[in-house]
Amino acid sequence: MNLDALLLSFRLAAVVSAILLMLALPLAYWLAFTHWRGKFLLESVVALPLVLPPTVLGFYALIALGPRGPLGRLWQFLFGHTLAFTFAGLVIASLVYSLPFAVQPLIASFESLDRRLLDASSILGASRLRTFFRIIVPLSWPGLITAVVLSFAHTLGEFGVVLMVGGNLPGITRTVSIDIYDRVQALDFAAANHTALLLLGISFIVLAVVYGMNRRVWSPWLAK
């Protein structure tokens, strides 16, 4: 088993899901509560990575992050090197790739909130920000955990985007799924199986946690 690849994947997934949570909270809040008629357009953009082949996404990410792409040029201007085939580039591409997995559970849980609780908070003088942190977030924590866990798991398992944007540089961009692919190419089925089995186990645990969460089995404030 390639420990380097595994650690890299976990690092990537942790960084991506942490940043995604910060991005997805305001985005999901806005999508859940806006009355703007054109919001379906933004919803479609957010959901796009769900249906787009990862290679397509990876291709455009590569173009954007490369030395001639807008993001690549900006990055080169700031840090002196381009984003393609770097860990940072991988993070940015993964943010886009896993965005719907962070945003959708949050929207679902914000929309299921009793609006009268938010009204009550306003009437009691709370600003929108206070209502958000004191009422919306605590009451949406199953959705929050679902969002984090799903974006973590989804990033952990990505292949096409990584291959396009990151290539296969050991310790920098060789993630665990690429490692499995390499092992299979090298006909080292036993090593591939070790890693694959581990990913299978992790995926199952993750989904079990998410489904358990959504039934609110651990909800601490339900009436006894």
Smallest distance, Å, CB 133 to another protein? 12
Residue 149: its H or E element: helix 141-156
Q: How far is CA 184 from CA 154, 177, 180, 189, 195, in A?
A: 22, 11, 6, 6, 11
Per CB under 8 A, 120 contacts another protein: yes
Q: Backbone phi, then psi, for 159, in 5-degree steps?
A: -135, -55
The Cα–Cα gap between 18 and 127 comes to: 26
Per CB under 8 A, 216 contacts another protein: no
Structure tokens at 50: 């769900």
**Contact pattern from residue 139 through residue 158 relative to another protein, giving x for each residue in contact according to CB under 8 A and a dash for the rest:** x-------------------
Which range binds another protein by CB under 8 A, 23-31, 131-139, 145-153, 164-172?
Answer: 131-139
Per CB under 8 A, 135 contacts another protein: yes
Q: Backbone phi, then psi, for 160, in 5-degree steps?
A: -60, -45
Which range binds another protein by CB under 8 A, 57-65, 94-102, 135-143, 144-152?
Answer: 135-143
Smallest distance, Å, CB 105 to another protein? 19
Amino acid identity of 139? L
Residue with Cβ nearer another protein (133 or 204): 133
Q: Backbone phi, then psi, for 62, in 5-degree steps?
A: -60, -45
Residue with Cβ nearer another protein (119 or 188): 119
Per CB under 8 A, 221 contacts another protein: yes
Residue with Cβ nearer another protein (114 or 188): 114
Which range binds another protein by CB under 8 A, 26-34, 127-135, 146-154, 185-193?
Answer: 127-135
The Cα–Cα gap between 22 and 31 comes to: 15
The Cα–Cα gap between 162 and 176 comes to: 10
Per CB under 8 A, 224 contacts another protein: yes
